[in-house]
Amino acid sequence: MKRICFVLLISLFVTSCSDTNPKLEVPVTTTTTTTTTTTTKMTTTTTRTTTKASVVTKSTTTKKTTKVPAAKFLDGDAMLSLINAERERLGLSTLSIGASLTSSARVRAKEICTSFSHTRPNGKNWDTVLNKTGLTMWGENIAAGTNYTKVDLPFDAWMNSPGHYANMIKDGFNRVGIVGYYCPDGKYKYYWAQLFSS
């Protein structure tokens, strides 16, 4: 059986400087396709029973099944060192993890499993998940891919996408929340959200 692995990336950056109409930059979308092969293992059990002069042989075939793990959040803190290494290389200040941003990123990572978009499932803009008190700018990167089990692959994809890269190295950002979400019922299985703020 062949399984096609999809990778989707979307980036959006919003700036608001005390005006009520934030400026929106056009989101960048990147799609990559990878092919992998999956096989199912079969096992056969043979039981032999002897009664007086006759021999009875009974064969049964059982299919080995794999239990699908439940949905779970994936820790994105390891990605912070990758982002900060790039920011330091460029002479920029490093980012720190923001607890409120991480909480909001958890919500967004779970939401994009059902609606992969900067629009939330309730129809509102993604940034409505944030507490914007005291913020002057914010941004979001989202990614999905069947092979995005660890931080390195979504990070590499974002590094190679101009819109996502711009969010990761934005000079005015100083905090970030990064969360992955494994969603066994989702089309892409693994979903990642980065939320940035000033």
The predicted model scores a pTM of: 0.70
d(CA 114, CA 121): 7
Give the pLDDT mean for 95-117: 97
- Write the DSSP symbol of residue 128: G
Would you say 3 and 146 are in contact if contact means Cβ atoms under 8 Å apart?
yes
Q: How many CA atoms, within 13 angstroms, populate the side-chain half-sphere of residue 160? A: 13
Q: In sequence order, which residues have a C-beta less than 8 Å from that of residue 79 and are 6 or more positions away? A: 151, 154, 155, 178, 194
Give the pLDDT mean for 57-63: 48
Tens digits of residue pLDDT in 149-164: 999 999 999 999 999 9
Find the range with the poorest average confidence among 32-41, 73-82, 151-160, 177-186: 32-41
